[in-house]
Homo-oligomer: A and B are copies of this chain.
């Protein structure tokens, strides 16, 4: 299987593609441009929606030339072309990767971080959101950024997602969904120690994230009505209290509230028995209590295909679930599968959302 094709309910037609998808450059010393070019090369075999890259055209040209030199045997050639508006994407996407210019301050060396380029990295994200706001793009796929070098340059946000939420304006709760072709999971608590996750977990957090997930499954992914599974926190989902009280005290009340909202939900389920093939047939997404409970099954089942989708924002945003891979940048070895899956998934969501609008 080549792409993360979400599986809408049988009989639901997928709407046609509205505007193209904007893709950001990500950390220029990383693998972003390389995997963008490789993803474009797979446009036909993976039936990808048209997308354009917001990056420095000179950097894309240099990366393309380096890739061709590293792999002279490639039968499908790489190509890029500069565009001046996203609207040109549809007309040239078949022939070349459309590049919307975002100038870098300095030409990057693979693997060498340079804070002089932080402005361009962030600028590409701002441009993408502006294009979506203007109806010129239908979604954004973000290449991985290197937070450490952005912080050095004065970046004030905890991460990519929070920056996007601010650019979208308003008071949005961004919710991270991990997915591979066989499974979608949403962690209720994310980047904190496991002890802090247990301490912070609350009924309200579960309900908020589950409602956002249910809405996105329904509106953006064609699962109508969406079916959620809620994981327990403790072994055997607490075994009726013998192995923990969080299921009765925190999770069951969340399930009750979700049912009162009309959501189809099962749980609290024993986390070890809810991710195998037969169990996955009973739900469309699993709401998990902590980072590794959500990430272990997705990455175990579909490591290369795993992608990150941000739910709860007014825009559609996906990203690969790997990092900048500075250690292999510039070597032609980067695997573009996760980015390819992220583009396919963004396209699917953009089509559904356009129909719902």
- Find out whether the CB atom of A193 lies under 8 angstroms from the CB atom of B238: yes
Asked whether any CB of chain B lies closer than 8 Å to the CB of A243, the reply is yes
Asked whether any CB of chain B lies closer than 8 Å to the CB of A109, the reply is no
Which residues of chain B come closer than 8 Å to A299, judged between CB atoms?
A: 272-273, 275-276
- Find out whether the CB atom of B271 lies under 8 angstroms from the CB atom of A296: yes
24 contacts between A and B (CB under 8 A): A192-B235, A193-B238, A193-B243, A193-B245, A193-B246, A194-B198, A194-B234, A194-B235, A194-B244, A195-B195, A195-B198, A195-B244, A196-B244, A271-B292, A272-B292, A273-B303, A275-B300, A277-B303, A292-B293, A296-B296, A296-B297, A296-B300, A297-B297, A297-B300
Which residues of chain B come closer than 8 Å to A296, judged between CB atoms?
A: 271-272, 275, 293, 296-297, 300
- Find out whether the CB atom of A291 lies under 8 angstroms from the CB atom of B272: yes
Bound form: Cα–Cα A293–B238 in Å: 15
Bound form: Cα–Cα A243–B293 in Å: 16
Which residues of chain B come closer than 8 Å to A190, judged between CB atoms?
A: 235
Asked whether any CB of chain B lies closer than 8 Å to the CB of A79, the reply is no
Which residues of chain B come closer than 8 Å to A272, judged between CB atoms?
A: 291-292, 295-296, 298-299
Bound form: Cα–Cα A249–B295 in Å: 24
Q: Which residues of A contact B (CB under 8 A)?
A: 190-196, 198, 233-236, 238-239, 243-246, 271-273, 275-279, 290-293, 295-301, 303
Indicate which residue in B198, B243, B292 contacts A192 across the interface (CB closer than 8 Å).
B243
- Find out whether the CB atom of A276 lies under 8 angstroms from the CB atom of B291: no
The residue in chain B whose Cβ has the minimal distance to the Cβ of A298 is: B272
- Find out whether the CB atom of A244 lies under 8 angstroms from the CB atom of B193: yes
Which residues of chain B come closer than 8 Å to A193, judged between CB atoms?
A: 234-235, 238, 243-246
